[in-house]
Amino acid sequence: MVKPSTNLSDFEEMYLKTMFEIHSQNPAAIVKTSMLAESMGVSAASTTEMIQRLSGRDLVTYIPYKGSRLTSEGFAIAGKIKRRQLLVELLLTDIIGFDGDVSSVACEMEHAVNDELEESIDRLLGYPEYTHSGERVPQISRQFDPDVRSPLLPISNMPEGSSGIVEFIALPGQDIKTLDNQQISIGVNISKIQNSINVSGNPILLSESLTKRILVRLEE
C-alpha cells in the first residue's frame, strides 16, 4: 500500500493533490505553473519554489518555463491523499450527517487520516468506488483480514455498556479545541453506561450533533 510521506507538510500535500486533480482531467498534460498557482490561490513565485522543492524529493518533474508533472511516486502519493479526502467527504455526509461545508472540512481533515483509519473508514462505508457526484474514489489493493479489528462507530451508535478509544473527530481543528473542556481528544477512552457518556470514567454532556462526529474504536 502506498503511504503519503509523513515528512510532507499539509501544504505540500495540497500541491500534490491539486496536481493530481489536474492530471486526472488530462493525464498527459504538463501542469502550467500559472494554472497551479491560481488553483492554490498563491503567487507564481511561491508555486515555482514549491515545485522545485517537490522536484528535489522526486515527487514532481520540473520543466523550466513550461510547468511540471507528477512522477510515478508523486502520482501515487497524491492519489492516496485525494482518496482520503473523498472518503472523509462520504463519512461526513453518509455516516455523520454533516450539513456544513463538506469539501472544505474534508480538505482540512484528510491530512490527519493514517493508513489504519483510512482502512476503517473504507470498510465502514462499504468500500465505495464513487462519490454521490460521480467522482471516482482512487482505488487501492485491499488485503481483507478475516480477523478484522472491532468496528469504528460514532459515539451515538455505541451499544449500551460498551467502551472504546476515540480515533477520529470530524470537526475542523479550531472546533476540536472546544472539546478540551470535556477532556475529549484522540486516544481518550469513552464508555456508555446507562445511556451516559463517560470520559475516563467521568460523565460528560455532549450534544447529539457531537456524538455523531466523534468516532470510537470499540474495545473487545
Residue 144 has pLDDT above 50, yes or no: no
For residues 59 and 65, is the Cβ–Cβ distance under 8 A? Answer: no
Looking up residue 55, the CATH number of its domain turns out to be: 1.10.10.10
Is the pTM higher than 0.85? no
For residues 216 and 167, is the Cβ–Cβ distance under 8 A? Answer: yes
Residue 115 has pLDDT above 50, yes or no: yes
Residue 146 has pLDDT above 70, yes or no: no
pLDDT attached to residue 181: 77
CA angle 132, 137, 143 (to 5 degrees): 125
What is the mean pLDDT of the segment spanning 156-175?
Answer: 82
3-class SS shares of the chain: helix, strand, coil, % to 5: 45, 15, 40
182 in a structural domain: yes
Strands (E), 15-124: 60-63, 67-70
Of 65, 181, 193, give the one whose Cα is nearest residue 210: 181
Q: In this structure, what are the phi and psi dihedrals at residue 194, rounded to the nearest 5 degrees?
A: 50, 45
63 in a structural domain: yes
CA distance 214 to 100: 16
133 in a structural domain: no
Question: 75, 98, 121 — which closes off a domain?
Answer: 75
Question: 35, 60, 75 — which closes off a domain?
Answer: 75
What does pLDDT average to over the chain?
86
Judged by phi (left if over 0) then psi (alpha if -120 to 50, else beta), residue 128 lies in beta
170: domain range?
152-218
56 in a structural domain: yes
Q: Catalogue the long-range contacts made by 116-120 (C-beta closer than 8 Å, 24 or more residues apart).
A: 117/152, 117/167, 117/168, 118/83, 118/84, 118/87, 120/149, 120/152, 120/167, 120/217
Look up residue 191 and give its DSSP letter: E
111 in a structural domain: no
What is the mean pLDDT of the segment spanning 67-82?
Answer: 94
Question: 75, 95, 110 — which closes off a domain?
Answer: 75
For residues 172 and 164, is the Cβ–Cβ distance under 8 A? Answer: no
| Domains held by the chain: number | 2
pLDDT attached to residue 189: 92
Looking up residue 176, the CATH number of its domain turns out to be: 2.30.30.90
4 in a structural domain: no
> Which region among 2-11, 42-51, 142-151, 197-206 has the lowest average model confidence (pLDDT)?
142-151
Q: For 194-214, what is each residue's pLDDT tens digit? A: 888 999 888 988 888 788 888
What does the radius of gyration of the chain's CA atoms come to, in whole angstroms?
Answer: 20
- The SS3 assignment for 17 reads helix
Q: What amino acid is encoded at 29 in this protein?
A: A
120 in a structural domain: no
- The SS3 assignment for 176 reads helix
141 in a structural domain: no
CA distance 10 to 25: 23
